[in-house]
A and B are shown apart, each in its own frame.
Chain A
């Protein structure tokens, strides 16, 4: 039986990946912080099936201990401070978790189990403000926030460790990927949540945004710049790509994305449309939610993944948004049972 270690198992990607690997018959270990694991999280339902090693990726000793304990064939480094916008106010922490943790993991693998394969979660944010229309594995990085700069650090360090020590380290440069499990602080989920509130007639939402205000207040959802555009895919498709990437004989890097660019405005349109509403009646723009530096038009060129891995998305953008909205409606109905 193959053994896998996942950092960030309590998150969206980690939990989907754990399910995927359990299905394939893997023994799955997860590295998680005590405070993440002992509260409801994306992988709570897997508690009986995975083995959790309590520790913090930002602690070198914890990482080394987990690597030694799991003796994994495959290690997926997914733990991260995952919000680029927030990285401005948490820059040092972001570098520790997104940058140094990867380095410590590579060092631990080099010393304790050089035979393990490692998957490093790189990000399309590394492209920042690209000069080419579509970005692939050869595109130059131009990070424009502390999150992206830290991800570039980890990505480049992966290259150094692969080349200098012959370790099997591969990176997936993943474009945005969403799902029902996205936390409420992410844009797509906020829109799904706002849409659900509109559908249910909730004018002041029980859940709060990163600034401590109800996400929907007086019937309005506050967003930053709606003109921004992203290449949004579906997270379960992306964890399948991670597994495919790590199965390759030679460790290399892959860009994973749908190759289609959509604006936030379009996302709002189809989300609200799916419940028969007009987004313009429910969304307001809040300049305070605009980032100090806005990421440019990043759009994947996933040719290599399509050719080499045979990977492609399984569901459409519209289908994904529909699932996310439905999930939020169900959730709110549960929370609000009796009140609605």
Chain B
């Protein structure tokens, strides 16, 4: 039986990957940070009581910014595979917290690779580094593939670029089986609420039920290649099952703008949005003439990444992988789940209990 260690297990990808690996018979270990609020919502359905015999799913307290915790956990777990999914993963926040972002995203990856090396696990432990399409930033060619030069545009992307190179360096210098998955945007109902796709589906659901009036967004013209996280975690696993380690771009090869995402999500609920105005004056109205989408310049980034589109030919050819879930299905699922959540809030509220309106 194989043992896997997942950093960032409480996140979107971590929870899908944990489920996937448990399905393959792995013993799955995860690292979670101690936080003042519960942060295990996404993996609570996998939780096993510590008193159960032969647990397959085990969480450890640790932190990518704490090297001794990482060395301790890796020493204990002796994993066959490490998936480094933990990160300060929000681009806009990285402008406000560049140092923390670098500490967890750049130095964090290095700490894991060093732990593998100093524990003498170079031959035993395979390492997956979650790289990102944000590395391409100001794109140098379209679509982007493994050989496209990087041009990062945010502190997040620069930190991830360091992690990318240090992964390549440790592979080449020490023969560690380490690879980068350069993943384009991947979404799901488990996506963090402050990421644009989830923000849209969540807000539209709440607007529909009268729990919210208006959705404020930044750059509606930004184009992204959006896939489903559930599809993408399978790739993370596949990359570690090859004869030799290589880096792969993972993408759908189809691109939509933020505005198109809004339209698709609205249509799922039978809403047709009428757009008027340009630039920061642009507004979206529902059939009754209520303004339900507007621009808030607060959400513009100091430097924007306008367009990302991936070419996953290499993954298709060498790993035999193509995404199974379409853009339409992704949007529909996210909308459905957020509508359920909004309905739950509505029921709770109508019965006199307090509900919260979370803001970023």
| Contact surface of A with B, Cβ cutoff 8 Å | 60, 88, 91-92, 95-96, 99-100, 103-104, 107, 140, 143-146, 148-150, 152-153, 156-157, 160, 163-165, 292-293
CB-defined contacts of B173 to chain A, threshold 8 Å:
88, 145, 292-293
Closest B residue to A103 by beta carbon equals B98
Is B186 engaged at the interface, CB distance under 8 Å to the other chain? no
Which B163-179 residues sit within 8 Å CB-CB of chain A? 165-166, 169, 172-174
What CA separation (Å) do A90 and B148 show in the bound complex?
30
Q: Which of B67, B111, B114, B162 contacts A153 (CB 8 A)?
A: B162
CB-defined contacts of B79 to chain A, threshold 8 Å:
none
Q: List 24 A-B contacts (CB under 8 A).
A: A88-B173, A91-B110, A91-B166, A92-B107, A95-B110, A96-B107, A100-B102, A103-B99, A103-B102, A145-B169, A149-B169, A150-B162, A153-B106, A153-B158, A157-B98, A160-B154, A160-B302, A163-B153, A163-B302, A164-B301, A292-B172, A292-B173, A293-B169, A293-B173
| Secondary structure dominating the interface of A | helix
Tell which of A143, A150, A156, A163 has the most Cβ of chain B within 10 Å. A156
Closest B residue to A91 by beta carbon equals B110
- A107 lies within 8 A of B99 (CB): yes
- B98 lies within 8 A of A165 (CB): no
What CA separation (Å) do A292 and B150 show in the bound complex?
25
Q: A153-B161, A163-B303, A293-B172 are in contact. List 6 more A-B contacts (CB 8 A).
A: A92-B114, A95-B106, A103-B98, A157-B158, A163-B302, A293-B173
CB-defined contacts of A164 to chain B, threshold 8 Å:
95, 301-303
Tell which of B111, B114, B165, B172 has the most Cβ of chain A within 10 Å. B165
- A140 lies within 8 A of B149 (CB): yes
Tell which of B150, B161, B174 has the most Cβ of chain A within 10 Å. B161
- B166 lies within 8 A of A156 (CB): no
Given the known inter-chain contacts A144-B169, A292-B173, please indicate yes or no for A92 contacting B154, CB distance below 8 A. Answer: no
Is B155 engaged at the interface, CB distance under 8 Å to the other chain? yes
Is B245 engaged at the interface, CB distance under 8 Å to the other chain? no
What CA separation (Å) do A232 and B95 show in the bound complex?
37
What CA separation (Å) do A160 and B98 show in the bound complex?
11
- B165 lies within 8 A of A149 (CB): yes
CB-defined contacts of A95 to chain B, threshold 8 Å:
106-107, 110, 162
| Contact surface of B with A, Cβ cutoff 8 Å | 67, 95, 98-99, 102-103, 106-107, 110-111, 114, 149-150, 152-155, 158-159, 161-162, 165-166, 169, 172-174, 301-303
Distance in angstroms from B70 CB to nearest chain A CB is 12
What CA separation (Å) do A76 and B158 show in the bound complex?
22
Distance in angstroms from A261 CB to nearest chain B CB is 23
Given the known inter-chain contacts A107-B99, A143-B169, A153-B106, please indicate yes or no for A165 contacting B302, CB distance below 8 A. Answer: yes
CB-defined contacts of B153 to chain A, threshold 8 Å:
160, 163
Q: Which of B95, B114, B154 contacts A91 (CB 8 A)?
A: B114
What CA separation (Å) do A160 and B153 show in the bound complex?
6
- B169 lies within 8 A of A160 (CB): no
- B110 lies within 8 A of A92 (CB): yes
CB-defined contacts of B162 to chain A, threshold 8 Å:
95, 99, 149-150, 152-153
Given the known inter-chain contacts A107-B99, A156-B152, please indicate yes or no for A92 contacting B111, CB distance below 8 A. Answer: yes
Given the known inter-chain contacts A88-B173, A107-B99, please indicate yes or no for A152 contacting B161, CB distance below 8 A. Answer: yes
What CA separation (Å) do A160 and B95 show in the bound complex?
10
What CA separation (Å) do A103 and B103 show in the bound complex?
11
- A146 lies within 8 A of B99 (CB): no
Q: Which of B99, B102, B165 contacts A143 (CB 8 A)?
A: B165
CB-defined contacts of B152 to chain A, threshold 8 Å:
156, 160
Distance in angstroms from A127 CB to nearest chain B CB is 12
What CA separation (Å) do A99 and B152 show in the bound complex?
15
What CA separation (Å) do A104 and B110 show in the bound complex?
20
Tell which of B67, B110, B111, B301 has the most Cβ of chain A within 10 Å. B110
- A144 lies within 8 A of B99 (CB): no
CB-defined contacts of B158 to chain A, threshold 8 Å:
153, 156-157, 160
What CA separation (Å) do A91 and B118 show in the bound complex?
13
Distance in angstroms from A156 CB to nearest chain B CB is 4
CB-defined contacts of A92 to chain B, threshold 8 Å:
67, 107, 110-111, 114
- A157 lies within 8 A of B99 (CB): no
What CA separation (Å) do A91 and B112 show in the bound complex?
12
